[in-house]
């Protein structure tokens, strides 16, 4: 696994969890991670990840049918 260190101003009110969710959500939307892999990156369950996606501006429903089938088969 790769480690990334980010430095950003204190004026940006983001927790480590928020940054992980934003990154995982973006990678999920780009089909670079499955929902299970994205959840693992954040350190939460797949269900929690899916439930939180809307709060972070991501849609669960942008997946193709093939992506949904892949996620279901890996659940």
Q: Please give the pLDDT value at position 63.
A: 58
- What is the model's pLDDT at position 64? 66
Question: What are the pLDDT digits (tens) for 31-75?
Answer: 899 999 999 999 999 999 999 999 999 887 755 667 777 878 887
Kindly list the domain boundaries of the chain, sorted by start residue.
Answer: 16-73
DSSP-derived 3-state class of residue 60: helix
| pTM of the predicted structure, to 2 decimals | 0.75
Residue 17 has pLDDT above 90, yes or no: yes
Find the helix packing angle between 16-29 and 35-42, rounded to 10°: 160
More confident residue, 71 or 20: 20
Rounded Cα distance between 35 and 9, Å, is 30
């Amino acid at each position: 696994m790769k480690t990334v260190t980010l430095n950003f101003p204190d004026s940006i009110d983001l927790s480590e969890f928020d940054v992980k969710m934003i990154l995982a959500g973006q990678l999920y939307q780009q089909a670079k991670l499955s929902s299970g892999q994205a959840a693992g990156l954040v350190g939460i369950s797949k269900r929690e990840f899916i439930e939180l996606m809307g709060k972070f501006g991501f849609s669960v429903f942008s997946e193709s049918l093939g992506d949904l089938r892949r996620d279901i088969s890996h659940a």
